[in-house]
Structure 1
Amino acid sequence: MFTPSSHDVRRFFCEVFRKDRANEILTPLEAMALDWLRMHPEYDEALADAEAAVARDYSVEGGQANPFLHLSMHLSISEQVSIDSPRGIRAAYEALARKTSPHDAQHEIMECLGEMIWKSQRSGLPPDGEAYLEAVKRRVGA
């Protein structure tokens, strides 16, 4: 299993940003990431300098959201939806997107994903995909 470090993730997004600006060819994953970069132009400054991005501390105490975490969650959700894993996430996403917008649906799911990750970290147990999907489905019905 590939487990990138936070530095790897930051360099990945910065490289996608750089390649886009240079009109270079992107891999399929980079193209998917670019879609999210374009929806978040407020992160352009953070993406423009890979070394500064790696050095930056986005602690909660700093009061600024971590753009790389946000973009990573968008990318993770996009991948989950594309392969329908956990099974049912695609239908739940599509239902949420019809109620709001595709971007807002991602943000709804992102809250559920963040909660699942937080619970897993606090309990020391593996992430509970079923509880995550049920949380997303509740948002569809809300």
Structure 2
Amino acid sequence: MFAPSQNDVRTFFCEAWRKHRAGEPLSAMDTLAAQWTERHPEYHADLSDLEAALAAVYTVDAGRTNPFLHLSMHLSISEQVSIDQPRGIRQAVELLAAKRGDLHAAQHEVMDCLGEMLWESQRSGQPPDPHAYLDRVRRRATA
């Protein structure tokens, strides 16, 4: 299993953003990261300074969203949709995106569902429940 460190994740996003802005060749994952970063101009400054990014601390008390967590969730959801894992997530996200008229808005709703699943897993000490996650996304898509 791939388990990047916090610094690995931050370096990846900062480098993908730097290469994108410089017009350098991008890997498929770099391209996806840059596309989601483009949709979040509020994070551009955070991703433009690698040293500051590596040193930054994002706490709930500070009232700032962690851009690296947020963008990582976009990548995770995009990957889930691309491989349809859990089975049915592609259809549910596509339906939600059609309902909202915007994939980005739909992904933010899916993030809420993903976050709930992870929080419940941490709280209970049980593995994440992909069926409960999918059910949450489907409810939003069909409500």
Q: Normalized against structure 1, the TM-score is what?
A: 0.97
Query: 2: distance between equivalents of 1:33 and 1:87?
Result: 24
Alignment of 1:1-142 (within 5 A): 1-100=1-100, 101-142=102-143
Query: 1: distance between equivalents of 2:95 and 2:124?
Result: 31
The one-letter code of the counterpart of 1:21 is R
How far residue 14 of structure 1 moved from its aligned partner, in angstroms, is 0.2
How far residue 106 of structure 1 moved from its aligned partner, in angstroms, is 0.3
Kindly tell me the number of residue pairs found equivalent between the two proteins: 142
Query: 1: distance between equivalents of 2:65 and 2:11?
Result: 18
Query: 2: distance between equivalents of 1:110 and 1:98?
Result: 17
After superposition, the CA RMSD in angstroms is 0.7
The one-letter code of the counterpart of 2:48 is A
Q: Normalized against structure 2, the TM-score is what?
A: 0.97
The one-letter code of the counterpart of 1:61 is D
The 4+ residue runs of structure 1 with deviation greater than 4 A are none
Query: 1: distance between equivalents of 2:136 and 2:55?
Result: 35
Query: 2: distance between equivalents of 1:95 and 1:22?
Result: 36
Deviations 1:35-72 (A, max 9, x none): 10111111110000111111100011111111111100
After superposing the two structures, state which structure 1 stretch, 116-125 or 74-83, moved more.
116-125
